């Protein structure tokens, strides 16, 4: 008589999602009570009543809705990108080639888009983001056998724009009103962590939308995400065209080059901040490339569709910790140093030791929770050190070393097979340790000079 082996597919317990939801709810609901007891009475907050100008909260809501819409677009392609390639019979070697093309475009073209954004206007660059997604959506609907080279190139450029344009646009728009009212940094801090929170929620929503659109019939439903992305892109273009002119004073190329050389290239503190950003970007890219192969190693059966929202939920939870730390009068550099070290240790353990799926998912969730905390903290530091007029160029150029490193390891792993997945994770862990060191040195540099809460402005009224 044959032996029947039951195959069980591992999936996270429903209690995990309940824990993440209630933890986030408690942190948000208890924060006003904490603020009333411990925060200074002169300091404004998103959770206290202050005489905000009516234009500031209105723009914040408008911006967060548009940012969530953009996040859904990013999520649709990231969730179904590889699935779509497999459906159309694209081999693994060609998939690696597409990834190399994408990161190559981000390196050679995307690194310059931040400079262009500062020169032509941030809102216009955000508009280009939606136009690129519209082009890809229409291209996939019209072409019977779409060229993934073109689609991947456009999506890579759109992702590069997404990494800096919306943040720089929000900072410039908030600065027009909030700096005059004396609570500029507070409203920006609120916007930064809400961006991370809404982005994570939108990425989860994009997975739900994609599953619902595709359904059980692949032949009819495989093109549904493209239709959805096209409609969402049109909605984004319409909203951006009808509201908020986004006009701002733009420098000439000569003035911009001189200002960038003085305030960005000539400031050691910004070099340290850029290095930390590059290391974080590299580790995030490695994580999303390897998280699924790590979980299914040795033929383990895992329900990846439920683990993905679990990871993003952990990031949402991490973002809700940000306002507590800021109002606890902790130094931003100290918080970042600790978060980077925790991330590096988690990746080091994952690279070194073979573990059960439950332990791996827990470590992945803690890593993502740290991401949710780090992203608004880094945005806060950029507001403290980087001039608004040069912010886009600084962010895009700081990601160039990370994209270079990703291209290198993808080529070594995908074509030459000279490094293993564990080695790639080790590189990411080393980068995070470097980021922690940069934050430690940045803190020491802050004591040497006069650290200003308001960023330097290259424009004088």
Query: pLDDT tens, 276-290?
Result: 999 999 999 999 999
Q: Is the pLDDT at 11 greater than 90, yes or no?
A: no
pLDDT at 146 (0 to 100): 60
115 vs 390: CA distance, rounded Å: 8
The mean pLDDT of 427-441, rounded to a whole number, is 96
Q: Is the pLDDT at 221 greater than 70, yes or no?
A: no
- Give the closest residue to 10 by CA, choosing from 461, 270, 360, 399: 360
The mean pLDDT of 21-47, rounded to a whole number, is 67
Span of 36-50, 150-164, 245-259 with lowest mean pLDDT:
36-50
Q: Residue ranges of the domains in the chain? A: 55-250, 251-461
The mean pLDDT of 355-373, rounded to a whole number, is 93
- Model confidence at 2, pLDDT cuts 50, 70, 90, reads very low
- Model confidence at 1, pLDDT cuts 50, 70, 90, reads very low
Span of 113-127, 206-220, 306-320, 366-380 with lowest mean pLDDT:
206-220
Which residues share a beta bridge with 10? 302
pLDDT at 457 (0 to 100): 46
- Model confidence at 414, pLDDT cuts 50, 70, 90, reads confident
What pTM does this model have? 0.89
**Which H or E run includes 211?**
helix 184-214
The mean pLDDT of 308-330, rounded to a whole number, is 91
Q: Is the pLDDT at 450 greater than 50, yes or no?
A: no
Sequence-distant (≥ 6) Cβ neighbours of residue 298 within 8 angstroms? none
Instruction: Record the tokens describing residue 351, joined without a space.
Output: 């690279």
Q: Is the pLDDT at 215 greater than 80, yes or no?
A: no
Strands (E) across 11-109 are located at: none
Percent pLDDT > 90 in the chain is 50
Identify the residue with better confidence: 36 or 252.
252
Q: Identical fold at 55-250 and 251-461?
A: yes
pLDDT at 216 (0 to 100): 63
Q: How many CB atoms lie within 10 A of CB 298?
A: 5
pLDDT at 282 (0 to 100): 97
Right CATH for 251-461 from 3.40.50.720, 3.60.20.10, 1.20.140.10, 1.20.1250.20: 1.20.1250.20
Structural fold of domain 55-250: Growth Hormone; Chain: A; (1.20.1250)
Please spell the DSSP secondary structure of 212-230, one letter per residue.
Answer: HHHTT-HHHHTTHHHHHHH
Cβ atoms of 311 and 368 within 8 Å: the answer is yes
pLDDT at 57 (0 to 100): 76
Q: Is the pLDDT at 30 greater than 50, yes or no?
A: yes
pLDDT at 38 (0 to 100): 59
Q: Phi first, then psi: what are they for 88, rounded to 5°?
A: -90, 10
- Give the closest residue to 289 by CA, choosing from 428, 398, 84, 105: 428
pLDDT at 39 (0 to 100): 53
78 vs 443: CA distance, rounded Å: 36
Identify the residue with better confidence: 121 or 88.
121
Q: Is the pLDDT at 217 greater than 80, yes or no?
A: no
- Give the closest residue to 240 by CA, choosing from 392, 395, 122: 122
Cβ atoms of 400 and 274 within 8 Å: the answer is no
Q: Is the pLDDT at 297 greater than 90, yes or no?
A: no
Number of H helices, E strands in the chain: 19, 0
- Model confidence at 401, pLDDT cuts 50, 70, 90, reads very high
Cβ atoms of 276 and 336 within 8 Å: the answer is yes
Rounded to the nearest integer, the mean pLDDT of the chain is: 84
């Amino acid at each position: 008589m044959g032996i029947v082996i039951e195959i069980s597919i591992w999936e996270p317990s429903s209690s995990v999602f309940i824990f993440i939801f209630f933890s986030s709810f408690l942190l948000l609901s208890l924060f006003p009570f904490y603020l009333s007891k411990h925060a200074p009475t002169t300091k404004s907050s998103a959770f206290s009543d202050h005489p905000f100008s009516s234009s500031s909260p209105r723009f914040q809501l408008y911006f967060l809705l548009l940012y969530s819409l953009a996040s859904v677009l990013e999520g649709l392609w990231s969730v179904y990108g590889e699935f779509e390639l497999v459906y159309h019979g694209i081999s693994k070697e060609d998939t690696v080639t597409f990834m190399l093309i994408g990161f190559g475009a981000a390196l050679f073209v995307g690194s310059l888009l931040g400079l262009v954004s500062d020169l032509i206007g941030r809102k216009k660059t955000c508009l280009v983001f939606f136009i690129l997604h519209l082009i890809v959506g229409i291209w996939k609907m019209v072409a019977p056998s779409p060229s993934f080279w073109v689609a991947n190139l456009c999506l890579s450029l759109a992702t590069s724009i997404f990494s800096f344009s919306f943040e720089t646009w929000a900072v410039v728009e908030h600065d027009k009103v909030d700096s005059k009212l004396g609570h500029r940094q507070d409203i920006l801090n609120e916007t930064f962590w809400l961006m991370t929170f809404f982005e994570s929620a939108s990425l989860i929503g994009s997975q739900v939308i994609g599953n619902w659109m595709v359904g059980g019939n692949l032949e009819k439903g495989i093109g549904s995400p493209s239709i959805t992305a096209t409609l969402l892109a049109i909605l984004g273009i319409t909203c951006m065209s009808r509201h908020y002119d986004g006009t701002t004073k733009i420098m000439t190329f000569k003035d911009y080059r001189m200002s960038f050389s003085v305030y960005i290239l000539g400031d050691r503190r910004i070099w340290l901040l850029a290095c930390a950003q590059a290391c974080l970007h590299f580790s995030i890219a490695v994580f999303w490339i390897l998280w699924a192969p790590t979980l299914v190693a040795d033929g383990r059966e895992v329900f990846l569709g439920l683990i993905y929202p679990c990871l993003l939920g952990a990031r949402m939870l991490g973002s809700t910790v940000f306002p507590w730390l800021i109002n606890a009068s902790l130094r931003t550099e100290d918080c970042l140093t600790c978060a980077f070290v925790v991330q590096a240790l988690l990746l080091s353990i994952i690279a070194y030791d073979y573990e059960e799926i439950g332990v791996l998912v827990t470590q992945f969730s803690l890593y993502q929770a740290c991401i949710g905390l780090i992203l608004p903290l880094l945005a806060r530091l950029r507001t403290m050190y980087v001039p608004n007029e040069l912010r886009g160029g600084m962010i895009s150029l700081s990601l160039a070393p990370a994209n270079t490193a990703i291209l290198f390891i993808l080529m070594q792993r995908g074509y030459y097979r000279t490094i293993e997945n564990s080695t790639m994770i080790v590189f990411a862990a080393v980068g995070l340790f470097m980021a922690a060191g940069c934050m430690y040195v940045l803190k020491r540099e802050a004591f040497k000079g006069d650290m200003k809460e308001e960023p330097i402005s290259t424009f004088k009224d």
